[in-house]
Amino acid sequence: MPEPFGPVEYIVIHFDSDRFRADIVPALNDLLDQGLVRLIDVAAVTKSPDGVVSILETQELGPEVAEAFERLTGAISPLLAEADLQALGDELDPDTSAVAFLFEHVWATRFAAAVRGAEGRLVLSERIPHQVIAEAQASLLAVAR
């Protein structure tokens, strides 16, 4: 990764089935096209109804999904470790799946470089789930009435 670079984040998206659809790819492509993120690596993990874990490359996810990810071929660095993906699969319920992404937040490159230049370092980063924010907003609206 060339310097300077933005923060890198590992995210896992869980699906309640072991069948992947390409529905999320257009939104991902929008982020890439806008230069907001750079996809460093992506891998899919499934757990069959009988508990067998499989780690899949994007081209193994069926023609629709593979076609959607086709434009990313060659741009990805294989940094997600097979042992970590296996551990992710072990945690899945049978007949479910997950996709693991490693993103660089390109939008934050300048800020990250400024922090490093000021000899600062990130000590905490926490993502707040959408449901928590929605419940907090609903609670605030209820009190305001």
| Confidence band of 1 (pLDDT split at 50, 70, 90) | very low
Q: Write the DSSP symbol of residue 129.
A: P
Q: 2 in a domain, yes or no? A: no
Question: Is the residue at 88 inside a domain?
Answer: yes
Predicted model pTM: 0.77
Question: How does pLDDT run across 31-41, given as a tens digit for each residue?
Answer: 888 989 888 88
Going by pLDDT thresholds of 50, 70 and 90, the confidence category of residue 131 is very high
Give the side-chain half-sphere CA count within 13 A for 56: 21
Burial class (CB in 10 A: 0-12, 13-18, 19+), 1: exposed
The dihedral over CA atoms of 55, 57, 62, 64, expressed in degrees to the nearest 10, equals: 140
90 and 53 in contact (C-beta within 8 Å)?
yes
Q: Considering the domain boundaries, does residue 75 fall inside one?
A: yes
Domain assignment present for 1: no
CB–CB of 45/89 below 8 Å?
yes
Range of the domain at 123: 8-144
Give a yes or no: residue 76 inside a domain.
Answer: yes
For the chain, the domain total comes to 1
